[in-house]
A and B are shown apart, each in its own frame.
Chain A
Amino acid sequence: MVGFAADRPWGQGQLDQVIHPILFYTLCVLGGAGVWLALPRRRLTPQVAGALVAALASGLTLMFMGKNALEHLPNIYFYVFSFIALGAALRVITHPRPVYAALYFILTVVSTGGLFLVLSAEFMAFALIIVYAGAILITYLFVIMLATQAPEEGEIEVLTEYDTQAREPLAACVVGFLLLAVVTTMVFRGVPSLAVPLPVQPDALLVDMPRKVENVLRTNGLLQEGEVVLTDRTSGKPAIDVETGTILVGVVGEGEPRLITRGQWPEELHISNPENVGFNLLRDHPGTIEIAGVILLMAMLGAVVLSRKQVQLDEEAKQRHASKLAESTGVNVGGLQSPLTTGPHGAGGSGGGGSA
């Protein structure tokens, strides 16, 4: 890190510490073109080719970034997981069938969880998979199935027009990748001059968890009967010194206390990721969790109130139903399959016609 960007002024030339600017902008354009090609369109377009172009562009970007940072390449799993995540994300926005889009989104969530694992955020990785893939996406799938008309018997499922045709794909891709170019330019310029974080003591929280320390020591046979982790008389905290790696144990009020030094510490005497996150959440940001609770409660109430509401079909949909009904009764004279019964609230339409 010596002389790394610190002595260079803000402006031209900082970007090339991460990636060459011209190369990067070319790849942005290429990626935008790829996504544009991959979006669903009325005409048959080379969707696969578009996806390949987009994948190539992002792959090349990562490769050229890596070329400048050979010493500091991320873990190989980073490449695997981000490839899957981005590919599935592209499929989410290009797949014409909503159910498949939702399933691809689950794939994105799972590989994002993988990225979190690589970033050693285990708790968040599994919380993400449980909450997103397990709960939110299931809600989505339910709604998709509620809000999609099943094809009638003997009829081939037709994809709806609004799923197969993108709205303003060119403008969206231009705007999106312009945004990407601008944002990443700012990020890449700033990143090399980020302050190097000070190393932290990974087990600092042990001071706050004397019970855990006692349990670990006891199961490893380092504590005798009646011995506990003693309290430091001056600070009033448990006598666990993470800096020097000493723990003062003894029987309260009698005998000589003895020291357990770091060399004797058992393997599992470490703070795990969930413990760290838990302490951070509940001790440093208690307000956050309160607000989160209020938000969830309001959302629940809101959803209940909304879904109790009676809704009438509007005029247009009623007409559509009527014409469809006339059509179907014209074709099969018996009128056994009334399309009215397929809608969730078909009775709101010009009901009764089919039973004649």
Chain B
Amino acid sequence: MSWGISAIAQSGFPDPMHALTLAHYLLVSALMFVIGLIGFMTRRNLIIMFLCTELMFQAAGIAMVAFGRYHLDFTGQTFVIFVLTVAAAEAAMGLALVVLLFRRKESLDAEAWQDMKG
């Protein structure tokens, strides 16, 4: 247990993390993922739905960095870079599509497009 300010930013890996500490981070990650999921399912605004997918990306990132910290390995952090890239690409494409959809219907409502249901 380290409560001091000096513990917040230590370069490298100071000491191994206990599995129960890891569990805390994984719980936060799971909670954030579920909040994003619920948002994606309940919100009807297309932009907010995209924002909720970004929330889920964040949650995945926390889990990866926490696991990397536990295993004293940097691959977790490396793959967060990859997630960041995918999120950026997704935002660019998704938002371009949203703008197109908005121009057509003048509405961001996801249900305005329900006639596309097969």
Contacts and interface: CB of A to CB of B under 8 A. Distances in A.
Q: Do A and B come from one complex?
A: yes
A139 B11 CA distance: 33
A131 B84 CA distance: 8
A334 B85 CA distance: 52
B91 A136 contact: yes
Contacts of A265: none
Interface in B29-59: 30-32, 34-39, 41-45, 47-48, 50-52, 54-55, 58
A221 interface: no
Contacts of B102: 146-147
Contacts of A176: 34-35, 37-38, 41
Contacts, number: 325
A65 B79 CA distance: 28
B65 A121 contact: yes
Contacts of B70: 194, 197
Interface in B1-43: 1-3, 7-14, 16, 18-28, 30-32, 34-39, 41-43
B36 to A, nearest CB: 7
Interface residues of A, number: 125
Interface in A162-195: 162-163, 165-169, 171-173, 175-177, 179-180, 183-184, 187-188, 191-192, 194
A72 B81 contact: no
B103 A311 contact: yes
A171 B110 CA distance: 18
B78 A280 contact: yes
A299 B9 contact: no
- Tell me the interface secondary structure of chain B in the complex: helix
Most chain B CB within 10 A, of A58, A176, A296, is at A176
A300 B92 CA distance: 7
B91 A124 contact: no
- Tell me the interface secondary structure of chain A in the complex: helix
A202 B88 contact: no
B8 A117 contact: yes
A307 B99 CA distance: 8
Nearest to A58: B31
Interface of B: 1-3, 7-14, 16, 18-28, 30-32, 34-39, 41-45, 47-48, 50-52, 54-55, 58, 61-62, 65-66, 68-75, 77-82, 84-93, 95-100, 102-111
